[in-house]
C-alpha cells in the first residue's frame, strides 16, 4: 500500500514537478530513464516517490536514452503502465525506438521538456527536439505552463491506453521557461486523478502466457505499407477519443482543453500561430494590439499530432495575414510548422497571407515587443493585400537583417 | 531414407510466405504487427510435440520459409548414432527427433546452413550436404565409406 502524499488545493510547482506528480497519481508501473537537463526532475522525482513508498512501481536505470525507451517498450509490451521523460540529445538518441513504440502500438507516455539540439551545445528551450519526433507516429500534446503539463500528462494515459487508440503520447513543455518556473498549480486529489485515468487494460500483453505473441515482426514490401497505413489511420482516428478525454477532464477539473486553442480570434484580422510558452506571450501582445484598434488574435495547436488540419482552417480562414512562429532551426527550408499551417490554409477559399518567423532558438527570449513587431508587420500585409516583408524572417536575431523569399506578384 | 511425409505434415509448411499468398489489406492486418503464435488457449501446451500444437497461421511453423536454400542436408539413418548433436545445434529447429531418435530434416524450415553436418561426430557423417535438386535416394547411394585409420 502506497504512502499518502499530502497535497494542498493550490500548490506552487514548476513544470517538471507538476509532470512528476501526474506520474505518481497515475501510478506508473515502470519508468526507465536516463535523466537529461532540463527534464531530469521528472524522472528523479518519480525515483524518489518509489524509494519513499509513494508509488508501487519500478524505476529502471539504463545506460542511454535509446535503452530507456527500449526498456519502456519491453515494459509496455509486457502490459504495464509506462512513462519516461527526456529532452534534446536524449530525445534524438531515443528517436529510433520512438518509431518502434508507435509501430508496436504501445501506449507509452513521454514527457518531453523541449530543448535545442547541438551543435553548438545548448541546454535551453527550443522546439528542435519536438520537431524531430513529429513523424514518429506519436500523439503530441503541447503544454504552455505548469498546470497544463500536469493536466495533459493525466489525459495522455487515458488517450494512449484507450483500446481504439493504443498509441504512445508525448507531452511537450518548454525547457526552463515552463519546466523550471514555479507557478500556481491546482492538482486533483489522488483519488480523483486515478479515477480519471483508471486501471490499464492491456492488449496483447506478453505476460499473458495463455496467448504468446511476437512483437517486432519483420515486414518487407509485401506487408510494411499496410501496417504503416493502419497505424496512420489509428492516429488520425484518435481525434474523437482525445476530445472525449478533454471533455471528461473538464468535468472533474473545470479546465477546458481543445485540440486548437484560440484567443481573441472571433473577429481577428491578423494572427500569430505559435507553440509552447510563446502562446502566452503572444496573447499579451494581442491584447496590447487591440488597445490600438488592431484586431489581433492567437492560434495554438494543443494537439500537434494528429495535426489539426480541420480546426486550423476553421480558426484562420477569415484572417487576412497570419504569422507562423517556428522555434526550430529550419535547416534549409521554410519552418516545418509554417509549411503545415500553410498547407491547411491553401485549401480555404480566401487563402490568407502566411509568413514565417524563426525565433527563440536555444532559449533566446521572445518578448511581448517581439510579438507586437510581428503583429504590426501582419497589419501592413493585411492593408497591402500582399506580403510586404520577406516570407521567412528571423525575430530576435543579431546582425544584418536575414530573410528569404518574397511574394511573386505580376 | 527419411520418411518423405516429414517434409510436409498437415500442420507444417501449409503456405509459402514468399509466394505472396494470403495477403491482406491495411484494414485486416494485426494491430502493431503483433502476431499470436497459437490458436486458442496456449497456457498448457508445453508438453505437446510441435505437430500436436495448434499453431496460428502467423507462426512460421505453418509456413514454408526455406525457398532460398541452395544446398540441403541429407540424413543417413544407417550411420546415425542418435547422439542428438545436430538437434542441439540446429539454429532453425529443423532436426526432427522423437524419443531421442533422429528421424530427419524439416525441409520447410531448414535454410541449408550446414551446422548439423559440421557437428555430426560419426564416421562417415550421418548428415551430408547435397544440391537442393538431388533426390534423397540418389544422395544416399553416393554415401562415402567409413574412413580407414592409417597405421
pLDDT (0 to 100) of residue B7 = 60
Q: Which of A104, A226, A231 sits opposite B24 (nearest CB)?
A: A226
Coil, helix or strand for B26?
coil
Q: Quick: pLDDT tens for A161-182.
A: 999 999 999 999 999 999 999 9
Query: Is B46 within 8 Å of B146 (Cβ atoms)?
Result: no
Over residues A16-33, mean pLDDT: 98
DSSP B19: G
Residue A127 has pLDDT above 90, yes or no: yes
- Chain A, chain B: beta-carbon pairs less than 8 Å apart: 67
Among residues A125, A170, A131, which one has the least CA distance to residue A149?
Answer: A170
Mean pLDDT, residues A219-248 taken together: 96
Helix (H) or strand (E) holding B117: helix B115-119
Task: Provide, as residue numbers in chain A, all residues whose Cβ is less than 8 Å from the Cβ of B25.
Answer: 226
Question: By the CB < 8 Å criterion, does A204 face chain B?
Answer: yes
Could B32 and A219 be called an inter-chain contact, meaning their C-beta atoms sit closer than 8 Å?
A: no
Q: State the pLDDT confidence band at B148, using cuts at 50, 70 and 90.
A: confident
3-state secondary structure chain A: CCCCCCCCCCEEECHHHHHHHHHHHCCCCEEEECCCCCCHHHHHHHHHHHHCCCCCCEEEECCCHHHHHHHHHHHHHHCCCEEEEECHHHHHHHHHHHHHHHHCCCCCEEEEEECCCCCCCCCCCCCHHHHHCCCCCCEEEECCCHHHHHHHHHHHHHHHCCCCCCCCEEEEEECCCCCCCCEEECCCCHHHHHHHHCCCCCCCCCCCCCCCEECCCCCCCCCHHHHHHHHHHHHHCCHHHHHHHHHHHHHHHCCCCCCEEEECCCCCCEEEECCCCHHHHHHHHHHHHHHCCCCEEEEEECEEECCCHHHHHHHHCCCCEEEEEECCCCCCCCCHHHHHHHHHHHCCCCCCEEEEEEECHHHCCCCHHHHHHHHHHHHHHHHHCCCCCCCEEEECCCCCCCEECCCCCC
The stretch A79-96 carries a mean pLDDT of: 98
| Residue A5 CB contacts under 8 Å (≥ 6 apart), including other chains | A24, A49, A54, A190
Instruction: Pick the closest to residue A338 from B22, A346, A104, B107 (CA basis).
Output: A346
Residue A52 pLDDT > 90: yes
Half-sphere exposure of A285 (CA within 13 A, CB side): 23
A207, A210, A220, A229, best to mutate vs chain B, most B CBs in 10 Å: A210
Q: Show the cell assigned to A260.
A: 486548437
pLDDT score at B20: 57
For chain A, which residues make up each domain, given as ranges?
11-208+218-253, 260-404
Residue bearing cell 492560434: A299
Domains A11-208+218-253 and A260-404 share a fold: yes
Q: Taking CA A97 as the corner, what is the angle to CA A145 and CA A136, rounded to the nearest 5 degrees?
A: 60
pLDDT band at A53 (very low <50, low <70, confident <90, very high): very high
More confident residue, B147 or A361: A361
Q: Residue B25 falls within a domain, yes or no? A: yes
Cα B146 to Cα A325: distance, rounded to the nearest angstrom: 82
What's the CA gap between A134 and A142, in Å, rounded? 12
Q: Which of B134, B132, B140 is nearest to B66 (CA)?
A: B132
- For the domain A260-404, what is the CATH code? 3.40.50.920
Per-residue model confidence (pLDDT) at position B51: 83
Residue A6 · residue A180 · CB < 8 Å: no
Q: What is the pLDDT of residues A239-260, one digit of tens each?
A: 999 999 999 999 999 999 999 9
- Percentages of chain B per state (helix, strand, coil), in multiples of 5: 20, 20, 60
Domain CATH number, residue B63: 3.30.70.20
Cβ contact B42–A226 (<8 Å): no
Q: What total number of domains does chain B contain?
A: 1
- Residues of chain A neighbouring B43 (CB-CB closer than 8 A): 209-210
Joined grid coordinates for residue A56: 508501487
Distance from CA of A101 to the nearest CA of B (A): 9
Mean pLDDT across A350-373: 98
pLDDT of residue A150 exceeding 60: yes
Average pLDDT over residues A194-206: 97
The Cα angle at residue B39 between residues B35 and B45, in degrees rounded to 5? 105
Higher pLDDT, B10 or A221: A221
Nearest to A213 among B26, B27, B37 (CB): B37
Separation CA A170–CA A186 (nearest Å): 22
Q: Quick one: average pLDDT of A138-147? A: 98
In a domain? residue B68: yes
- How far is CA A117 from its chain centroid? 17
Chain B, residues 12-71, CB within 8 A of chain A, namely 20, 23-29, 31-38, 41-43, 58
Please determine, for residue A54, whether its predicted confidence score (pLDDT) is greater than 90: yes
Please check whether the domain covering A11-208+218-253 is classified as CATH 3.90.1150.10.
no
Give the nearest partner residue to A104 out of B28, B32, B37, using CB atoms. B32
The whole-number average pLDDT for the span A67-90 is 98
pLDDT band at B62 (very low <50, low <70, confident <90, very high): confident
Mean pLDDT across chain B, nearest whole number? 89
pLDDT band at B8 (very low <50, low <70, confident <90, very high): low
Of the candidates A158, B76, A45, A250, the residue with the CA atom closest to the CA atom of residue B86: B76
Does the distance separating the beta carbons of A212 and B42 come in below 8 Å?
A: yes
A74-A80-A85-A90 Cα dihedral, nearest 10 degrees? 0
Residue A265 burial (C-beta neighbours within 10 Å; 0-12, 13-18, 19+): buried
Amino acid A66: pLDDT:
98
In a domain, B149, yes or no: no
In this complex, which of B27, B34, B41 lies closest to A214 when CB atoms are compared? B34
Tell me what pLDDT residue B3 has: 77
Name the residue among A311, A302, A304, A313 with its Cα closest to residue A257. A302
Q: What share of chain A has pLDDT > 70, as a percent? A: 100
Mean pLDDT, all residues of chain A: 97
A164 touches chain B (CB under 8 A): no
Residue B43 lies in a domain: yes
Determine the residue of chain B that is closest to A168 in CA distance: B32
CB pair distance less than 8 Å for B42 and A230: no
Q: Is B26 within a domain?
A: yes
* pLDDT for residue B13 is more than 80: no
Sequence-distant (≥ 6) Cβ neighbours of residue B91 within 8 angstroms: B113, B115
For residue A287, give the C-alpha cell.
491584447
Q: Chain A residues with CB inside 8 Å of B32's CB?
A: 103-106, 166, 204, 215, 231
Residues 6+ apart with CB under 8 A from B127: B73, B74, B75, B76, B86, B116, B117, B120
Say if residues A259 and A310 touch (Cβ distance below 8 Å). no
- For A219, the closest of B20, B27, B33 (CB atoms) is B33
Answer yes or no: is pLDDT of A344 > 90: yes
* Interchain proximity A204–B31, CB inside 8 Å: yes
Q: Is the pLDDT of residue B76 over 70?
A: yes
Q: Which domain holds residue B34?
A: 4-141
pLDDT of residue A5: 93
Residue A199 to chain B, least CA–CA distance (Å): 21
Measured CA to CA, the distance from residue A105 to residue A115 in angstroms comes to 26
CA distance A138 to A170: 7
Amino acid at each position: 500500500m502506497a504512502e499518502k502524499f499530502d497535497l494542498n488545493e493550490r500548490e506552487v510547482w514548476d513544470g517538471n514537478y507538476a509532470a512528476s506528480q501526474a506520474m505518481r497519481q497515475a501510478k506508473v508501473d515502470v519508468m526507465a530513464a536516463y535523466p537529461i537537463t532540463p527534464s531530469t526532475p521528472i524522472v528523479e522525482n518519480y525515483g524518489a516517490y518509489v524509494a519513499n513508498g509513494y508509488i508501487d512501481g519500478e524505476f529502471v536505470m539504463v545506460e542511454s536514452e535509446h535503452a530507456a525507451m527500449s526498456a519502456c517498450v519491453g515494459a509496455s509490451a509486457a502490459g504495464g503502465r509506462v512513462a519516461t521523460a527526456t529532452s534534446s540529445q536524449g530525445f534524438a538518441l531515443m528517436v529510433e525506438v520512438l518509431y518502434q513504440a508507435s509501430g508496436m502500438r504501445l501506449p507509452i507516455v513521454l514527457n518531453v521538456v523541449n530543448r535545442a539540439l547541438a551543435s553548438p551545445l545548448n541546454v535551453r528551450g527550443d522546439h528542435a527536439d519536438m520537431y524531430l519526433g513529429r513523424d514518429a507516429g506519436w500523439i503530441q500534446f503541447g503544454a504552455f505552463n505548469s498546470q497544463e503539463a500536469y493536466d495533459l500528462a493525466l489525459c495522455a494515459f487515458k488517450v494512449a491506453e484507450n483500446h481504439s487508440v493504443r498509441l504512445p503520447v508525448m507531452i511537450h513543455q518548454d525547457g526552463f521557461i515552463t519546466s523550471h518556473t514555479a507557478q500556481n498549480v491546482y492538482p486533483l486529489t489522488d483519488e480523483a486523478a486515478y479515477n480519471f485515468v483508471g486501471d490499464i487494460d492491456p492488449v496483447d500483453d506478453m505476460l499473458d502466457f495463455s496467448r504468446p505473441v511476437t512483437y517486432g515482426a519483420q515486414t518487407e514490401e509485401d506487408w510494411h505499407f499496410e501496417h504503416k497505413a493502419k497505424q496512420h489511420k489509428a492516429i488520425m482516428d484518435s481525434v474523437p477519443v482525445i476530445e472525449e478525454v478533454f471533455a471528461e477532464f473538464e468535468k472533474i477539473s473545470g479546465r477546458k482543453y481543445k485540440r486548437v486553442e484560440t484567443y481573441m480570434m472571433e473577429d481577428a484580422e491578423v494572427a500569430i500561430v505559435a507553440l509552447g510558452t510563446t502562446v502566452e506571450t503572444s496573447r499579451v501582445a494581442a491584447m496590447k494590439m487591440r488597445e490600438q484598434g488592431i484586431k489581433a488574435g492567437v492560434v495554438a495547436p494543443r494537439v500537434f499530432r494528429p495535426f489539426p488540419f480541420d480546426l486550423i482552417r476553421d480558426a484562420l480562414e477569415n484572417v487576412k495575414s497570419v504569422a507562423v512562429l517556428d522555434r526550430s532551426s529550419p535547416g534549409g527550408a521554410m519552418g516545418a510548422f509554417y509549411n503545415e499551417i500553410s498547407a491547411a490554409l491553401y485549401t480555404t477559399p480566401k487563402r490568407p497571407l502566411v509568413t514565417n518567423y524563426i525565433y527563440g532558438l536555444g532559449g533566446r527570449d521572445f518578448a511581448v515587443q517581439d510579438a507586437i513587431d510581428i503583429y504590426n508587420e501582419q497589419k501592413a500585409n493585411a492593408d497591402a493585400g500582399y506580403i510586404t516583408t520577406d516570407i521567412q524572417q528571423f525575430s530576435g536575431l543579431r546582425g544584418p537583417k536575414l530573410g528569404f523569399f518574397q511574394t511573386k506578384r505580376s | 531414407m527419411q520418411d518423405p511425409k516429414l517434409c510436409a505434415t498437415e500442420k507444417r509448411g501449409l503456405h509459402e510466405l514468399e509466394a505472396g499468398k494470403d495477403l491482406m489489406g491495411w484494414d485486416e492486418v494485426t494491430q502493431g504487427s503483433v502476431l499470436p503464435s497459437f490458436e486458442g488457449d496456449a497456457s498448457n501446451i508445453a508438453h505437446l510435440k510441435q505437430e500436436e500444437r495448434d499453431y496460428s497461421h502467423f507462426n512460421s511453423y505453418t509456413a514454408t520459409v526455406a525457398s532460398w536454400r541452395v544446398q540441403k542436408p541429407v540424413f543417413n539413418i544407417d550411420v546415425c548414432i542418435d547422439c542428438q548433436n545436430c538437434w542441439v545445434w540446429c539454429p532453425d529447429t529443423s532436426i526432427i527427433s522423437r524419443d531421442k531418435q533422429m528421424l530427419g530434416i524439416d525441409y520447410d524450415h531448414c535454410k541449408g546452413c550446414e551446422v548439423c553436418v559440421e557437428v555430426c561426430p560419426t564416421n562417415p557423417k550421418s548428415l551430408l550436404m547435397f544440391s537442393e535438386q538431388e533426390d534423397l535416394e540418389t544422395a544416399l547411394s553416393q554415401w562415402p565409406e567409413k574412413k580407414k585409420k592409417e597405421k
